[in-house]
Chain A
Amino acid sequence: MAPRAGSDVLALPPGPRGLLRGTTLLLWAAIAGLILWSWHGTRFDPIVLLGAEGRAEILAYVRKLFPPDLAGAFLAKVLYWSLETFAMSFMGTLLSVAIALLLVFPATRTLAFSGLLFERDEAGRPIRILRVGLFVGARFVLDILRTVPHIVWALIFVFAVGLGPFPGVLALGLHTGGVLGKLFAEAAEDIETQPLEALQATGASRLQIFVYGILPRVAPQLLAYSLYRWEVNIREAIILGYVGAGGLGQQIQIAISLFLENKLLTLILAIYVMVTLVDYFSAFLRRRLL
């Protein structure tokens, strides 16, 4: 039915939703196709799990897990491995913050070569090219750090310096450093520019503008990102144990491979407690400091 002229005033403008309606079917078909293709490709089969046989097997496995091994000597070792994993995530996160802070200055576009601070720039062409080059280089390094997954970094460092938590620290630090560096640079690029202009007018250098104008403004955001990444890293630290970086992950691998189900349950409980504690502590710090 054609709308009357008067009702046009109230009608919603043909926004993206109106446009969507034409393509809705196509979109849903594409999503359904993607899911079906994945269902088929992964041999997804709920029957295997939920059928009588699957249920029985899973129940039997769960029964074997109980009771958890709570012998004093083993608990002491679990505590040590937990602390080792914790230490790995803590040092790794600190290293990543250090890397990110080192690279954020050249990787921030507004500090490196473009925008307000360079409006009255009288530097010659070679200097400008050098600045752009530095920016591109810093971003490229961050991209590489981020693209290589933790576990590959860990394998590389295990190859280079041998087994133990130290290669795990390096792996967490490098990968997370790439992630945080990008986030830090984006945060620094997004802030209001008037205060920076004021600082520049007083004759502050770009480094001074960064330290006194930008860092105090974005510090809460950087802290929040870092704490969030720490929560991620405590989980990643467990994974890295699998490739020889020690801690709980390595013990889980041993327990699963040697069918030590009771010990496995203790280790899983330890992971649960540790991850929950770190999540709470990080949330508490964010509430308190921000």
Chain B
Amino acid sequence: MDRSPSAATFPHPDRTRALFPGLLGLCCVIAFVASWRLAQVEPGLLLQAESRRNMARFIAGMFPPELSRDFLGLLVGPALETIQISVMGTVLAIAIGLPLGLLGTASLTITGVLNEFELAGAPARRAARIAPYACARGLLSVFRCIPEFVWAFMFVRAVGLGPFPGVLAIGIAYGGMLGKVYSEILENQGMRGSEALQATGATRWKVLCYGLIPQALPQLVSYTLYRWECAVRASAILGFVGAGGLGQQIELSMRMFNFHEVVTLVLLLFLLVATVDFLSGALRKAIV
């Protein structure tokens, strides 16, 4: 009965597999209904007279955008500071993410062809390798799961207002992300070159420097540059908690209901982001 080739090549899905779409759908419906209530979604609110009046006030207030020389002059400093925070934050993120990412790369420290002979039948040595691996992974996960905004909040408390806490916040949060992605990139590299290097007697350190990293460099650089682009947006936001840059001015203008200034600020932010995207694209082309 079940001799037909299709039945042979495509075995019947087991019951859990068949149940999965239904279960998932049910979960989505429950999540939707519960979220609708919890998030107090009320589309009608948007159409209320008062909301409409506020919206109209906002849109009318946007024009004309504030382009006076005084105001623009005021923004040059914060705009440059935003870029500086993003650069320094990314540098710090590399300094944090690279060592932790290397420690957290399984193919380098515990598993795979580089380690199988060294660690076979040596449980103590294996444990001594797994401990830093697990620590690095755990730290990276704490660093990246807490948003940079919350880090900034705490660092403003610790070291005071200004761009420095912004740098620290971006460095830590993005260090966590870079470290995780670095280790994923390194683990996904083909290991043949590294194996060949090891066969010549190279230590793991040398295999890393002369085999894995050169092999993965384009991907590593490319992802780091992408993170820099994200860091510009993030550092503009961090100003809201007093960590320097454009955000401070955005919040000020918004709280004072100076919407024509907000328009200018958002445009300026757009220009900044576009500039950094362009620079990062050029760097990517030159390096990768």
Interface positions of A (Cβ within 8 A of B): 16, 20, 23, 27, 31, 34-35, 37-39, 41-45, 48-49, 54, 57-58, 61, 83-84, 86-88, 90-91, 94, 147-152, 155-156, 159-162, 164-166, 168-170, 235-236, 238-239, 242-243, 249, 252-253, 256, 268, 271-272, 275-276, 279, 285, 288
In the assembled complex, which residues on chain B have CB atoms less than 8 Å from the CB atom of A84? 38-39
Tell me which residues across on chain B come within 8 A of A83, comparing CB atoms.
34, 38
Can you add 12 more A-B contacts, CB < 8 Å, to A256-B154, A285-B24?
A27-B283, A41-B163, A87-B34, A149-B236, A150-B237, A151-B240, A155-B251, A155-B254, A162-B45, A166-B42, A238-B149, A268-B150
Contact call B40/A276, Cβ cutoff below 8 A: no
Q: With a CB–CB cut-off of 8 A, which chain B residues contact A16?
A: 285-286
A238 touches B147 (CB 8 A): yes
- For the A-B complex, the count of residue pairs with Cβ-Cβ distances under 8 Å equals 161
CA distance A84 to B38 in the complex (A): 6
| A43 nearest in chain B by CB position | B164
CA–CA, A57 and B286, complex, Å: 43
CA–CA, A38 and B86, complex, Å: 8
Q: Is the CB of A41 within 8 A of B164?
A: no
* A41-B84, A268-B150 known; A149-B51 Cβ under 8 A: no
Residues of B within 8 A of A45 (CB): 164
Question: Cβ of B189 < 8 Å from any Cβ of A?
Answer: no
A149 CA / B241 CA spacing, docked (Å): 15
* B128 on interface, CB distance cutoff 8 Å: no
Q: Name the residue of chain A whose CB is nearest to the CB of B43.
A: A166
Q: Which of B96-104, B107-115, B138-146, B199-207 contacts A (4 or more CB under 8 A)?
A: B138-146
Within 8 A of A (CB), among B23-52: 24, 31-32, 34-42, 45-46, 48, 51
Set of chain A residues within 8 Å of B278, measured between Cβ atoms: none
Is B35's CB under 8 angstroms from A91's CB? yes
Residues in B with CB closer than 8 Å to A166 are: 39-42, 45
B58 within 8 A of A: yes
Report how far A236 CA is from B141 CA in the complex, Å.
17
The distance in angstroms between the C-alpha atoms of A268 and B151, with both chains bound, is: 10
Contact B54 A160 (CB under 8 A): yes
Could you tell me which residues of chain B, from 238 to 276, have a CB within 8 Å of some CB in chain A?
Answer: 240-241, 244, 247, 250-251, 254, 257, 262, 266, 269-270, 273
Chain B interface residue count, CB cutoff 8 Å, equals 66
A44 adjacent to B266 (CB under 8 Å): no
**A58 vs B155: C-alpha distance when bound (angstroms):** 10
Shortest beta-carbon distance from A43 to chain B in Å: 5
Closest to A276 in B: B145
**If A27-B286, A91-B36, A94-B32 touch, does A42 touch B147 (CB 8 Å cutoff)?**
no
Contacts of A151 in B (CB 8 A): 237, 240, 247
Is there contact, CB below 8 Å, between B46 and A57?
Answer: no
